[in-house]
Amino acid sequence: MKVVFIDRDGVINKDVGYLDKIEDFQFIDGVFTSFRYLQSLGFSLVIITNQSGIGRGYFSDYDFHVVNNWMLDKFSHENVNILDVLYCPHKPLDLCTCRKPNTGMLETINKKYNIIKKESWLIGDKESDIDTAINFGITNTVLVESGQEIDKKNSKANFILPSIKFIDSCIT
Ligand SMILES: [Mg+2]
Ligand SMILES: [Zn+2]
């Protein structure tokens, strides 16, 4: 299958830093329409998110799942089907294989669903998201500006967009 891998914080929702409460979760404008559009093109949607706040002890696995289940519920009410959500709970010093830009989460999805890398995409708001795609062998990448500060000139992303709202200008 062809997949769009999507970072969460800064792409789907405003990045408030170590988000652990539903009250702080604000969907970025246009995300539902954009995801329905990607679905209409035959893509499966997979969320891959670093959540080092868990490893750092700022919030728990349980807190993550409360927010995650709430988010998935909103998506399903908006007729968006998220195939899977993977998260890395580790902190950088844990040296795990799943924290982006490592490819562990993408490898897991590939084992489970057998994806077509050539036709798959990754959307992120940090250069390390783009590196994750490249490390895995996905060359179709989009960097959105709605989250982090980015270095447009030196980015390895194929496309840079003001936000997920404009995804139909590059994935067609
Ligand atoms: Mg992000
Ligand atoms: Zn990890």
For the chain, list the domains and their CATH numbers. 3-169 (3.40.50.1000)
Judged by its nearest atom, the ligand closest to the C-alpha of residue 9 is 1
How far apart are the CA of 172 and the centre of ligand 2, in A? 32
How far apart are the CA of 129 and the centre of ligand 2, in A? 14
Judged by its nearest atom, the ligand closest to the C-alpha of residue 123 is 1
User: Of these residues, 7, 125, 129, 131, which one is catalytic?
Assistant: 7
pLDDT of residue 57: 98
Half-sphere exposure of residue 79, counting CA atoms within 13 Å on the CB side?
7
User: Of these residues, 9, 20, 125, 131, which one is catalytic?
Assistant: 9
9 annotated active-site: yes
How does strand 140-144 pair with strand 159-161?
parallel
pLDDT of residue 53: 98
End-to-end CA distance of the chain: 16
pLDDT of residue 146: 80
φ, ψ of residue 121 in degrees (nearest 5): -135, 160
Tokens of 131: 């590196």
Q: Which residues surround ligand 1, an ion (CB under 5 A)?
A: 7, 9-10, 125, 147
pLDDT of residue 141: 98
Buried b (16+ CB within 10 A) or exposed e, 77-93: eeebebebbbbbbbbee
Of 150, 121, 115, 151, residue with least CA distance to 133:
121
How far apart are the CA of 96 and the centre of ligand 2, in A? 5
* DSSP secondary structure code for residue 41 in this structure: T
pLDDT of residue 150: 85
pLDDT of residue 64: 98
Could you tell me if 49 and 147 are in contact, meaning their C-beta atoms sit under 8 angstroms apart?
no
pLDDT of residue 167: 98
How far apart are the CA of 169 and the centre of ligand 1, in A? 21
In the chain, where do the E strands start and end? 3-6, 44-50, 82-88, 121-124, 140-144, 159-161
In the numeric block, the tokens 């390390």 are attached to: 128
How far apart are the CA of 34 and the centre of ligand 2, in A? 28
> Does 92 sit behind a cis peptide bond, omega within 30 degrees of 0 on the bond before it?
no
pLDDT of residue 148: 77
Give Cβ neighbours of residue 100 (< 8 Å, ≥ 6 apart).
7, 48, 50, 88, 124, 128, 129, 131, 132
63 annotated active-site: no
For each of the chain's 172 residues, which pLDDT tens digit applies? 999 999 999 999 999 999 999 999 999 999 999 999 999 999 999 999 999 999 999 999 999 999 999 999 999 999 999 999 999 999 999 999 999 999 999 999 999 999 999 999 999 999 999 999 999 999 999 999 987 788 888 999 999 999 999 999 999 9
